[in-house]
Protein backbone atom coordinates (compact mmCIF):
# COMPACT_ATOMS: atom_id res chain seq x y z
CA UNK A 1 0.00 0.00 0.00
CA UNK A 2 1.08 3.59 -0.59
CA UNK A 3 1.97 5.52 2.56
CA UNK A 4 -0.87 8.01 2.19
CA UNK A 5 -3.40 5.23 1.76
CA UNK A 6 -2.07 3.61 4.93
CA UNK A 7 -2.84 6.82 6.83
CA UNK A 8 -6.39 6.81 5.48
CA UNK A 9 -6.80 3.19 6.56
CA UNK A 10 -5.40 3.78 10.04
CA UNK A 11 -7.90 6.61 10.50
CA UNK A 12 -10.70 4.34 9.29
CA UNK A 13 -9.44 1.58 11.60
CA UNK A 14 -9.45 3.90 14.63
CA UNK A 15 -12.99 5.03 13.74
CA UNK A 16 -14.17 1.42 13.28
CA UNK A 17 -15.12 2.05 9.65
CA UNK A 18 -13.28 -0.84 7.96
CA UNK A 19 -15.80 -3.51 7.02
CA UNK A 20 -13.61 -5.85 4.97
CA UNK A 21 -11.94 -8.41 7.26
CA UNK A 22 -9.00 -8.85 4.89
CA UNK A 23 -8.31 -5.11 4.76
CA UNK A 24 -8.56 -4.86 8.55
CA UNK A 25 -5.94 -7.62 8.94
CA UNK A 26 -3.58 -5.77 6.59
CA UNK A 27 -3.87 -2.62 8.69
CA UNK A 28 -3.33 -4.59 11.93
CA UNK A 29 -0.20 -6.19 10.50
CA UNK A 30 1.15 -2.81 9.44
CA UNK A 31 0.59 -1.42 12.94
CA UNK A 32 2.20 -4.43 14.60
CA UNK A 33 5.21 -4.51 12.31
CA UNK A 34 6.06 -0.83 11.90
CA UNK A 35 6.91 1.68 14.61
CA UNK A 36 5.86 4.51 12.27
CA UNK A 37 2.36 3.09 11.80
CA UNK A 38 2.11 2.15 15.48
CA UNK A 39 2.89 5.77 16.39
CA UNK A 40 0.29 7.03 13.93
CA UNK A 41 -2.33 4.61 15.27
CA UNK A 42 -1.59 5.52 18.92
CA UNK A 43 -1.63 9.26 18.19
CA UNK A 44 -4.97 9.13 16.39
CA UNK A 45 -6.51 6.93 19.07
CA UNK A 46 -5.41 9.29 21.86
CA UNK A 47 -6.69 12.35 20.01
CA UNK A 48 -10.04 10.66 19.35
CA UNK A 49 -10.32 9.77 23.04
CA UNK A 50 -9.49 13.36 24.03
CA UNK A 51 -12.09 14.83 21.70
CA UNK A 52 -14.75 12.38 22.86
CA UNK A 53 -14.14 13.10 26.52
CA UNK A 54 -14.08 16.85 26.03
CA UNK A 55 -16.72 17.55 23.41
CA UNK A 56 -18.96 14.48 23.10
CA UNK A 57 -21.64 15.98 25.33
CA UNK A 58 -21.72 19.26 23.43
CA UNK A 59 -23.84 19.46 20.32
CA UNK A 60 -22.59 22.14 17.95
CA UNK A 61 -25.22 24.85 17.39
CA UNK A 62 -26.61 25.39 13.91
CA UNK A 63 -24.76 28.68 13.40
CA UNK A 64 -21.42 26.95 14.04
CA UNK A 65 -22.24 24.12 11.63
CA UNK A 66 -23.12 26.64 8.94
CA UNK A 67 -19.94 28.62 9.60
CA UNK A 68 -17.81 25.50 9.20
CA UNK A 69 -19.60 24.60 5.95
CA UNK A 70 -19.12 28.13 4.61
CA UNK A 71 -15.44 28.26 5.58
CA UNK A 72 -14.79 24.86 4.03
CA UNK A 73 -16.52 25.88 0.83
CA UNK A 74 -14.38 29.04 0.67
CA UNK A 75 -11.20 27.02 1.17
CA UNK A 76 -12.08 24.64 -1.64
CA UNK A 77 -12.95 27.55 -3.94
CA UNK A 78 -9.65 29.24 -3.07
CA UNK A 79 -7.73 26.13 -4.01
CA UNK A 80 -9.75 25.87 -7.19
CA UNK A 81 -8.84 29.44 -8.14
CA UNK A 82 -5.17 28.60 -7.64
CA UNK A 83 -5.70 25.80 -10.16
CA UNK A 84 -4.18 22.99 -8.20
CA UNK A 85 -3.02 20.39 -10.64
CA UNK A 86 -4.80 17.12 -10.20
CA UNK A 87 -4.49 13.84 -11.99
CA UNK A 88 -7.45 12.55 -13.96
CA UNK A 89 -8.36 10.11 -11.21
CA UNK A 90 -8.02 12.57 -8.30
CA UNK A 91 -10.68 14.94 -7.01
CA UNK A 92 -9.77 18.45 -5.93
CA UNK A 93 -10.39 17.41 -2.31
CA UNK A 94 -7.81 14.61 -2.67
CA UNK A 95 -5.32 17.10 -4.08
CA UNK A 96 -5.85 19.50 -1.19
CA UNK A 97 -5.54 16.62 1.26
CA UNK A 98 -2.30 15.49 -0.39
CA UNK A 99 -0.81 18.98 -0.27
CA UNK A 100 -1.60 19.29 3.43
CA UNK A 101 -0.83 15.81 4.68
CA UNK A 102 1.64 14.13 2.38
CA UNK A 103 4.89 15.57 3.81
CA UNK A 104 4.32 14.64 7.48
CA UNK A 105 0.92 13.02 8.06
CA UNK A 106 1.15 12.58 11.84
CA UNK A 107 2.35 16.13 12.41
CA UNK A 108 -0.30 17.62 10.13
CA UNK A 109 -3.00 15.62 11.87
CA UNK A 110 -1.79 16.95 15.22
CA UNK A 111 -1.82 20.52 13.86
CA UNK A 112 -5.45 20.16 12.75
CA UNK A 113 -6.44 18.88 16.17
CA UNK A 114 -4.47 21.65 17.90
CA UNK A 115 -6.30 24.26 15.82
CA UNK A 116 -9.63 22.65 16.73
CA UNK A 117 -8.82 22.67 20.45
CA UNK A 118 -7.53 26.24 20.19
CA UNK A 119 -10.78 27.36 18.57
CA UNK A 120 -12.87 25.91 21.37
CA UNK A 121 -10.54 27.14 24.11
CA UNK A 122 -10.36 30.70 22.79
CA UNK A 123 -14.02 31.15 21.95
CA UNK A 124 -15.41 29.11 24.84
CA UNK A 125 -13.37 28.79 28.06
CA UNK A 126 -14.99 25.42 28.69
CA UNK A 127 -17.93 23.28 27.69
CA UNK A 128 -20.05 24.45 30.63
CA UNK A 129 -19.84 28.08 29.50
CA UNK A 130 -20.78 26.99 26.00
CA UNK A 131 -23.89 25.18 27.25
CA UNK A 132 -24.99 27.91 29.69
CA UNK A 133 -24.67 30.53 26.94
CA UNK A 134 -27.17 28.64 24.80
CA UNK A 135 -29.88 27.96 27.38
CA UNK A 136 -32.96 29.76 26.14
CA UNK A 137 -36.75 29.81 26.20
CA UNK A 138 -39.52 31.23 28.37
CA UNK A 139 -39.64 28.17 30.63
CA UNK A 140 -35.94 27.37 30.71
CA UNK A 141 -34.79 27.04 34.34
CA UNK A 142 -31.51 28.91 33.78
CA UNK A 143 -33.29 31.83 32.12
CA UNK A 144 -35.95 31.91 34.86
CA UNK A 145 -33.24 31.93 37.53
CA UNK A 146 -31.41 34.81 35.82
CA UNK A 147 -34.60 36.87 35.52
CA UNK A 148 -35.54 36.24 39.16
CA UNK A 149 -32.06 37.18 40.37
CA UNK A 150 -32.11 40.42 38.36
CA UNK A 151 -35.52 41.26 39.88
CA UNK A 152 -34.17 40.61 43.38
CA UNK A 153 -31.18 42.87 42.74
CA UNK A 154 -33.45 45.61 41.33
CA UNK A 155 -35.89 45.39 44.25
CA UNK A 156 -38.70 44.10 42.04
CA UNK A 157 -38.85 40.73 43.80
CA UNK A 158 -38.76 40.70 47.61
CA UNK A 159 -39.08 37.81 50.09
CA UNK A 160 -42.62 36.77 51.01
CA UNK A 161 -41.36 35.16 54.20
CA UNK A 162 -38.50 36.23 56.45
CA UNK A 163 -38.32 33.01 58.41
CA UNK A 164 -34.73 31.85 58.85
CA UNK A 165 -35.20 28.41 60.42
CA UNK A 166 -35.17 25.60 57.81
CA UNK A 167 -38.18 23.81 59.32
CA UNK A 168 -40.24 27.00 59.26
CA UNK A 169 -39.18 27.78 55.68
CA UNK A 170 -40.18 24.30 54.56
CA UNK A 171 -43.56 24.81 56.23
CA UNK A 172 -43.93 28.15 54.44
CA UNK A 173 -43.28 26.44 51.10
CA UNK A 174 -45.83 23.69 51.84
CA UNK A 175 -48.47 26.19 52.94
CA UNK A 176 -47.88 28.23 49.77
CA UNK A 177 -48.59 25.20 47.56
CA UNK A 178 -45.12 23.82 46.75
CA UNK A 179 -45.81 20.11 46.40
CA UNK A 180 -42.26 18.76 46.42
CA UNK A 181 -39.89 18.30 49.34
CA UNK A 182 -37.48 21.21 49.67
CA UNK A 183 -33.95 21.46 51.03
CA UNK A 184 -32.85 24.53 52.97
CA UNK A 185 -29.04 24.55 53.14
CA UNK A 186 -27.36 26.44 55.96
CA UNK A 187 -23.85 27.77 56.24
CA UNK A 188 -21.90 30.03 58.58
CA UNK A 189 -20.97 32.67 55.99
CA UNK A 190 -24.21 32.95 54.00
CA UNK A 191 -27.26 33.78 56.13
CA UNK A 192 -30.84 33.18 55.03
CA UNK A 193 -32.59 36.46 54.21
CA UNK A 194 -35.99 35.13 53.19
CA UNK A 195 -38.00 32.95 50.82
CA UNK A 196 -40.25 33.36 47.79
CA UNK A 197 -42.79 31.13 46.04
CA UNK A 198 -43.41 31.72 42.35
CA UNK A 199 -46.05 30.39 39.98
CA UNK A 200 -45.24 28.72 36.66
CA UNK A 201 -47.98 27.04 34.61
CA UNK A 202 -50.02 26.75 37.79
CA UNK A 203 -47.22 25.05 39.73
CA UNK A 204 -45.67 26.61 42.82
CA UNK A 205 -41.86 26.75 42.87
CA UNK A 206 -39.49 27.38 45.81
CA UNK A 207 -36.78 30.05 46.05
CA UNK A 208 -34.50 31.04 48.94
CA UNK A 209 -32.42 34.21 49.24
CA UNK A 210 -29.18 34.49 51.24
CA UNK A 211 -26.92 37.40 52.10
CA UNK A 212 -23.27 37.66 53.11
CA UNK A 213 -21.70 39.82 55.86
CA UNK A 214 -20.44 42.16 53.11
CA UNK A 215 -23.83 42.52 51.43
CA UNK A 216 -23.60 40.12 48.47
CA UNK A 217 -26.76 38.26 47.51
CA UNK A 218 -27.07 34.54 46.78
CA UNK A 219 -30.28 33.18 45.27
CA UNK A 220 -31.20 29.48 45.32
CA UNK A 221 -33.87 28.06 42.99
CA UNK A 222 -34.84 24.41 43.53
CA UNK A 223 -37.26 22.27 41.56
CA UNK A 224 -38.20 18.61 41.72
CA UNK A 225 -37.17 16.63 38.61
CA UNK A 226 -40.81 15.71 37.96
CA UNK A 227 -41.42 19.31 36.93
CA UNK A 228 -39.18 18.61 33.94
CA UNK A 229 -40.13 15.05 33.05
CA UNK A 230 -43.73 14.66 34.19
CA UNK A 231 -45.38 18.04 34.62
CA UNK A 232 -43.34 19.87 31.95
CA UNK A 233 -43.34 23.01 34.09
CA UNK A 234 -39.76 23.91 33.19
CA UNK A 235 -37.14 22.70 30.74
CA UNK A 236 -33.39 22.46 30.22
CA UNK A 237 -31.36 21.66 27.12
CA UNK A 238 -30.35 18.03 26.68
CA UNK A 239 -26.70 19.05 26.84
CA UNK A 240 -27.15 20.62 30.26
CA UNK A 241 -29.18 17.67 31.55
CA UNK A 242 -26.45 15.27 30.44
CA UNK A 243 -23.81 17.33 32.23
CA UNK A 244 -25.88 17.48 35.42
CA UNK A 245 -26.14 13.70 35.35
CA UNK A 246 -22.36 13.26 35.25
CA UNK A 247 -20.88 16.18 37.19
CA UNK A 248 -21.04 16.95 40.91
CA UNK A 249 -21.94 20.52 40.04
CA UNK A 250 -21.59 22.93 37.11
CA UNK A 251 -20.09 26.41 37.35
CA UNK A 252 -20.49 29.39 35.05
CA UNK A 253 -18.87 32.76 35.73
CA UNK A 254 -19.35 35.97 33.76
CA UNK A 255 -18.23 39.55 34.43
CA UNK A 256 -20.82 40.24 37.15
CA UNK A 257 -22.36 37.01 38.48
CA UNK A 258 -21.67 33.33 38.97
CA UNK A 259 -24.09 30.46 38.41
CA UNK A 260 -23.92 26.97 39.89
CA UNK A 261 -26.20 24.04 39.09
CA UNK A 262 -26.41 20.53 40.47
CA UNK A 263 -28.70 17.54 40.93
CA UNK A 264 -29.31 15.95 44.29
CA UNK A 265 -31.90 13.52 45.64
CA UNK A 266 -34.38 13.98 42.80
CA UNK A 267 -34.15 17.78 42.62
CA UNK A 268 -32.35 20.28 40.40
CA UNK A 269 -30.79 23.37 41.95
CA UNK A 270 -29.74 26.65 40.34
CA UNK A 271 -27.73 29.14 42.39
CA UNK A 272 -26.88 32.67 41.25
CA UNK A 273 -24.82 35.21 43.16
CA UNK A 274 -22.91 38.46 42.76
CA UNK A 275 -20.46 37.15 45.36
CA UNK A 276 -17.08 35.52 44.86
CA UNK A 277 -17.47 32.14 43.16
CA UNK A 278 -14.58 30.53 45.05
CA UNK A 279 -16.05 31.66 48.37
CA UNK A 280 -19.37 30.08 47.43
CA UNK A 281 -17.65 26.83 46.49
CA UNK A 282 -15.65 26.76 49.74
CA UNK A 283 -18.24 28.06 52.23
CA UNK A 284 -21.53 26.88 50.72
CA UNK A 285 -21.24 24.10 48.17
CA UNK A 286 -18.68 22.20 50.22
CA UNK A 287 -21.31 21.89 52.97
CA UNK A 288 -24.30 21.32 50.70
CA UNK A 289 -22.74 18.67 48.50
Higher pLDDT, 99 or 267: 267
Strand partners, 251: 260
Give the model confidence (pLDDT) of 176-194 as tens digits: 999 999 999 999 999 999 9
Instruction: Say if residues 110 and 47 touch (Cβ distance below 8 Å).
Output: yes
Confidence at residue 280, expressed as pLDDT on a 0 to 100 scale: 95
DSSP string, 183-201: -----SSSEEEEEEEEEET
- Give residue-wise pLDDT tens across range 153-177: 999 999 999 999 999 999 999 999 9
Q: Please tell me the distance from the alpha carbon of residue 36 to that of residue 69, in angstroms, as a whole number.
A: 33
**Sheet holding 203-211: strands in order across?**
191-200, 203-211, 217-224, 267-273, 258-264, 250-253
pLDDT of 133 > 90? The answer is no
Report the pLDDT value the prediction gives residue 35, as an integer from 0 to 100. Answer: 77
For every residue of 238-256, DSSP letters joined together read HHHHHHHHHSS-EEEE-SS
Please check the confidence at residue 36 and state whether its pLDDT lies above 50.
yes
The model's pLDDT over 202-221, given as tens digits with 9 standing for 90+, comes to 999 999 999 999 999 999 99
Pick the CATH number of 136-288 from 3.30.200.100, 3.30.70.20, 3.30.390.50, 3.20.20.80: 3.30.200.100
**What pLDDT, in 10s, does the model give residues 43-71?**
777 777 766 665 555 555 565 666 666 77
Question: Looking at residue 255, what is its pLDDT?
Answer: 85
Look at the alpha carbons of 26, 29, 34, 40 in this order and tell me if their dihedral is positive or negative: positive
Over residues 132-160, the mean pLDDT reads 92
267 pLDDT exceeds 70?
yes
Average pLDDT value for residue range 87-93: 52
pLDDT of residue 132: 83
* Weakest-pLDDT range from 83-97, 183-197, 255-269, 272-286: 83-97
Domain ranges of the chain: 3-123, 136-288
pTM of the predicted structure, to 2 decimals: 0.60
Q: Which residue has the higher pLDDT, 194 or 23?
A: 194
Amino acid sequence: MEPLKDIYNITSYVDGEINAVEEELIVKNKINSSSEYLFEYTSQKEVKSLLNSRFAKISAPDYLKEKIKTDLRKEVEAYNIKKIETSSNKSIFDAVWDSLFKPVPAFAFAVVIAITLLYFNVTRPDGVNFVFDHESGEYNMVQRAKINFDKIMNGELTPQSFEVEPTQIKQFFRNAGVRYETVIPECTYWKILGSVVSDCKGEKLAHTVYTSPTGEIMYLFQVDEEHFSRYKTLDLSQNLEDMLNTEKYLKFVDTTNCIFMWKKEGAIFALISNGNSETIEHDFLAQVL
